[in-house]
């Protein structure tokens, strides 16, 4: 698995293999999720319990006490994954149908990693107010909503409005999930190179929803705004830029960052922002070639490089290491140090659902980030291990517990549990989900994948 043992051609071939396999296996399975029963069906008489006439008693119980819906139904464990298909991965606006495979994948990860029943819902509208209205109307059926792959700037507006109006957790994974996991990796990366969050200089490459939220989450974790330079497609963010008026009116989130970052008003683009930086956090456009090796050579010693564009990072890890980077992270599972929101949303929603939280706060996200970082630190962090992998399933219960306890502390939880109870609850649900898949595979209800 070590990059040093493979030729450049072999490394590129390995990077391209998941895409080739996906084109073959998606049609074979006709999707990735299905609905199965969780109650007993001993004989046909049981349908009188689960459906009419018996179910009427549960309906009336909920009518008398609306919160009883959490006890009589699966609402407490359900999440809607909602997208309009306008910013799918690094592919852009490819439409709701083309985005459905991503949302199905999201639902699969929710269940296998977090024990959460998630359902993909692609909406045939790009209007932000229509999306807001649609999500609010979903609340009776779902315990939470995961917004996914919405273009900016409307994604900020949609999330902010829904967080104000909804009474269940509303979350935009491209913003909050990516931010939590990235900050977790950053917390440990600076420890490995013996630097401090409050002192490192950071070049943020890309000013989309993910990197904007990452930047705010870094501030909450201890990064100083004056040590950050952000770059969008037109150059470094600064208040004296030629399009300042457009930023201030149309891209308010960028403008707010322009006012508090880059106090030296450094001009230029990616290489100028990277000069003397300790850290690069890149979530811009799919590479390679977006970040060049010679730009990494401009960075400070023991440079930390997060190149997390999908499906291909802005620079391949082996090229970044050869250029002098001490630590390289990407968004891919086939390279070391995967910084991917799949490490975040299953555990974060698990914790939020288990305390029936009414929202997911920024502090809950930071609690998740610190829990993620601590799991890796406990095992021994180093250049190629700054964050846990998805294989380390124990990370999700610990993350869930951290989120649930923070929700209780912030008084946004409807029910309370101890940390130990939350860990046990999460472990049971996640183990059940994983064991179910393995059983279905063993019994061939999920057929084996065809051989190459």
Look at the block and give the residue holding tokens 């139904």. 73
CB-facing half-sphere around the CA of 278: CA atoms within 13 A: 17
**Residue-by-residue DSSP string for 121-153:** EE-S---HHHHHHHHHHHTTT-SEEEE-SPPTT
Question: What are φ and ψ of residue 46, in 5° steps?
Answer: -65, -20
CA angle 205, 207, 212 (to 5 degrees): 105
Q: Where are the beta strands (DSSP E) in 33-160?
A: 78-83, 117-122, 144-147
Residue pair 235/265 in contact by the 8 Å Cβ criterion = no
Q: Where are the beta strands (DSSP E) in 17-143?
A: 78-83, 117-122
Question: What are φ and ψ of residue 36, in 5° steps?
Answer: -125, 160
Residue pair 437/446 in contact by the 8 Å Cβ criterion = yes
Torsion of CA 132, 135, 136, 137, to 10 degrees: 120
Tell me how far apart the alpha carbons of residues 168 and 353 are, in angstroms, rounded to a whole number: 9
Tell me how far apart the alpha carbons of residues 204 and 208 are, in angstroms, rounded to a whole number: 10
Please say whether the dihedral angle defined by the alpha carbons of residues 17, 23, 24 and 29, taken in this order, is positive or negative.
positive
Please say whether the dihedral angle defined by the alpha carbons of residues 250, 256, 262 and 263, taken in this order, is positive or negative.
positive
170-172, strands of its sheet edge to edge: 117-122, 78-83, 144-147, 170-172
Three-class DSSP category at 391: coil
Look at the block and give the residue holding tokens 């490089």. 305
Contacts of 64 (CB under 8 A, 6+ apart): none
| Whole-number Cα distances in Å, 203 to 277, 337, 406 | 6, 19, 30
Q: Which residues are catalytic?
A: 51, 106
Tell me how far apart the alpha carbons of residues 100 and 103 are, in angstroms, rounded to a whole number: 5
Strand partners, 282: 205, 307
């Amino acid at each position: 698995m070590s990059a040093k043992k493979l030729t450049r051609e072999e490394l590129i071939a390995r990077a391209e293999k998941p895409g080739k396999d996906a084109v073959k296996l998606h049609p074979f399975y006709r999707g990735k999720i299905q609905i199965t029963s969780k109650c007993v069906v001993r004989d046909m008489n049981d349908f009188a319990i689960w459906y009419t006439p018996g179910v009427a008693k549960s309906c009336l119980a909920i009518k008398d006490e609306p919160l009883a819906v959490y006890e009589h139904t699966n609402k407490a464990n359900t999440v809607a994954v909602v997208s309009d298909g306008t910013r799918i991965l690094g592919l852009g606006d490819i439409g709701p149908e083309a985005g459905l495979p991503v949302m199905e994948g999201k639902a699969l990860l929710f269940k296998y990693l977090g024990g959460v029943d998630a359902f993909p819902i692609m909406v045939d509208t790009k209007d932000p107010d229509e999306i807001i209205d649609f999500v609010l109307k979903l609340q009776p059926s779902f315990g939470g909503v995961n917004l996914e792959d919405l273009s900016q700037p409307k994604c900020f507006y949609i999330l902010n409005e829904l967080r104000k109006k909804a009474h269940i957790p509303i979350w935009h994974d491209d913003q909050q999930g990516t931010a939590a996991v990235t900050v977790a990796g950053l917390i440990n990366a600076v420890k490995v190179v013996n630097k401090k969050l409050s002192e490192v200089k950071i070049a943020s490459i890309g000013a989309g929803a993910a990197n904007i939220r990452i930047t705010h989450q870094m501030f909450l974790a201890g990064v100083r705004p004056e040590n950050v330079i952000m770059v969008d497609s037109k150059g470094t963010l600064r208040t004296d830029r030629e399009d300042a008026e457009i930023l201030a009116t149309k891209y308010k989130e960028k403008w707010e960052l322009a006012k508090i970052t880059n106090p030296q008003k450094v001009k230029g683009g990616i290489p100028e922002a990277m000069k003397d930086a300790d850290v690069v956090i890149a979530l811009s456009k799919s590479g390679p070639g977006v970040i060049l090796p010679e730009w990494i050579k401009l960075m400070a010693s023991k440079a930390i490089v997060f190149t997390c564009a999908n499906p291909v990072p802005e620079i391949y890890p082996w090229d970044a290491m050869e250029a002098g980077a001490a630590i390289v992270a990407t968004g891919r599972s086939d390279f070391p140090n995967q910084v991917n929101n799949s490490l975040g949303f299953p555990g974060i929603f698990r914790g939020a659902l288990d305390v029936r939280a009414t929202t997911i706060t920024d502090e809950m996200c930071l609690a998740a980030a610190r829990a993620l970082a601590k799991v890796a630190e406990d095992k021994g962090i180093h250049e190629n291990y700054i964050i846990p992998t998805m294989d380390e399933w124990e990370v999700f219960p610990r993350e869930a517990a951290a989120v649930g306890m923070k929700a209780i502390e912030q008084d946004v939880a409807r029910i309370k549990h101890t940390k130990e109870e939350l860990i046990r609850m999460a472990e049971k649900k996640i183990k059940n989900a994983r064991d179910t898949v393995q059983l279905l595979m063993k019994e061939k209800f999920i057929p084996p994948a065809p051989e190459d």
